[in-house]
């Protein structure tokens, strides 16, 4: 799985390993991968140091793991930026990293899954895919694109035993999100107060009224990766704490 050295990605890697999967742990550098492996502890893990946002990095990652039965596209970047200050290069970078990297890997592994008659492709999207945040519309755009990509590849895999889904993750408690929260609220606030202020001011729609823990996202991914989810495909499933104000997923 891509982007699995920290946060949601590392939690998913741990969850899949606990369920018996052999998991490729991917990060840009050998150091980040080694650190993640030491934190993950026991499990059948394969180190995959590679920048999968490039064609060369994607090829190296696939060579390291071999045949792929479950592809979890988790790699993503985010950051606050005023809408009118997002440059052409910023737009391209968010599309390249958050969308095209996932498309490229799917294109490589889906034929083999179809031939074997089984496989799982997952995209970690975000509530920002459907509730575009004014402070980072380039990020929202990339996550909306993932929903379209997921639905389209699900149609391409129709009738083959391969399922393709996206997971809409709500505001989640990770190190990167802590930095993001403090970029929007008073940096002198203790974390518990800063989190509450962030949710009150910037994510008031949340029914959970707290940040989601990465393991809670991982639980959905493990389910969708399993034979139990054989009839679930082409979907955008929410683990968002009720943030998206909709009845249907």
Terminal-residue alpha carbon distance, the chain: 24
**Radius of gyration, alpha carbons of the chain:** 17
Point out the catalytic residue in the list 94, 123, 139, 243. 139
Could you identify the residue written with the tokens 């889904």? 165
Helix (H) or strand (E) holding 15: helix 7-18
Helix (H) or strand (E) holding 195: helix 191-202
What CA–CA distance (Å, rounded) separates 230 from 184? 41
Cross-strand partners of 237: 167
At residue 172, φ and ψ (nearest 5 deg) are -120, 145
175-184 vs 191-202: helix axis angle to the nearest 10?
70
Give the angle subtended at the CA of 175 by the CAs of 23 and 144, to the nearest 5°: 70
Residues in the chain: 249
Sign of CA dihedral 49, 127, 172, 180: positive
Q: Is residue 139 annotated as part of the catalytic site, yes or no?
A: yes
| Residue 96 C-alpha from the chain's centroid | 15
Active site residues: 139
């Amino acid at each position: 799985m891509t982007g699995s050295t920290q946060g949601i990605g590392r939690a998913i890697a741990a969850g899949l390993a606990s369920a018996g999967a052999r998991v490729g742990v991917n990060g840009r550098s050998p150091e980040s991968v080694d650190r993640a492996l030491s934190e993950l502890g026991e499990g059948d893990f394969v180190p995959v140091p590679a920048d999968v946002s490039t064609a060369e990095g994607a090829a190296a990652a696939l060579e390291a793991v071999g045949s792929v039965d479950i592809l979890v596209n988790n790699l993503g970047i985010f950051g606050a930026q005023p809408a009118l200050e997002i440059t052409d290069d910023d737009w391209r970078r968010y599309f390249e990293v958050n969308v095209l990297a996932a498309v490229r890997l799917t294109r490589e592994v889906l034929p083999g899954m179809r031939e074997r008659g089984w496989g799982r492709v997952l995209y970690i999207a975000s509530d920002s895919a459907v509730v575009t945040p004014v402070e980072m519309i380039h990020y929202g755009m990339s996550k909306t694109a993932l929903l379209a990509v997921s639905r389209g590849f699900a149609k391409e895999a129709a009738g083959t035993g391969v399922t393709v889904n996206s997971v809409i993750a709500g505001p989640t408690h990770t190190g990167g999100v802590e930095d993001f929260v403090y970029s929007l609220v008073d940096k002198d606030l203790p974390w518990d107060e800063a989190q509450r202020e962030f949710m009150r001011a910037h994510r008031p729609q949340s029914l959970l009224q707290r940040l989601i823990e990465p393991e809670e996202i991982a639980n959905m991914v493990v389910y969708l990766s399993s034979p139990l989810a054989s009839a679930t495909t082409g979907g955008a499933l929410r683990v968002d704490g009720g943030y998206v104000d909709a009845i249907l997923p």
